[in-house]
Amino acid sequence: MAIELGRIYRAVRPTPSMPGEQFIRIRVTARGPSFPAWGWSKVRVETVLPDGTGIRERAIEATQLHDSPLTRDGQPRRTGYVRETSVLTTTTEG
């Protein structure tokens, strides 16, 4: 899995303190050697509000970011963050 800057992930489980089923969303802001003091296996993320504003920047383990909501055995994930958006590509019809 390639961790890309700007990619948005959502928590696997809804936040219990929020009404309804609301999931914390995070955006990757830095990875790898850009901050070696925090560890090479960490990525820097920020919480994304519904309007797209980023707040509460912090570092998390890169292993907490997943491409699929299911494990390799087909079971739903119980922890971590699942990719919410993919890289946008443009196509031209012709």
- List pLDDT tens digits, range 13-49: 877 776 766 788 999 988 765 555 555 688 899 999 8
**Residue ranges of domains in the chain:** 8-83
| pLDDT of amino acid 34 | 53
- Full-model pTM: 0.75
Q: How far is CA 51 from CA 25, 47, 48, 55, in A?
A: 11, 11, 8, 11
Q: pLDDT tens for residues 49-88?
A: 888 888 889 988 888 999 888 889 999 999 999 998 644 3
